[in-house]
Amino acid sequence: MGIYYSTVDGIVLTFSKIHKNGIFDKIDFRFERPNDKGGFDFAEGKLPNNTFNKSYGFSEDELLDLEKYLKNNAFLIWEIAKESA
């Protein structure tokens, strides 16, 4: 994804640089953790929507927690992405 943001409870959050898209700027994000099948659970989407468009291996409750974490950190993610441009 590109830019590392955090690791909390073994879940890594990364995000992309800002995508200039005419009217709305967007940032892709991805939560990821190793699973016991030798692969990774993931949840990914775009800011500023703060919602997931793909996920695998996370429960609904975990996705709600990740969405809350994302909303609480969105401002800092945007600031870091602006500095990385």
pTM of the model as a whole: 0.92
- With contact defined as beta carbons under 8 Å apart, do 42 and 55 qualify? yes
β-pair partners for 31: 13, 43
pLDDT, one tens digit per residue, over 74-83 is: 999 999 999 9
Which two tokens mark 56?
Answer: 């695998």
Which two tokens mark 54?
Answer: 């793909």
The pLDDT of residue 85 is above 80: no
Q: Report the pLDDT value the prediction gives residue 51, as an integer from 0 to 100.
A: 86
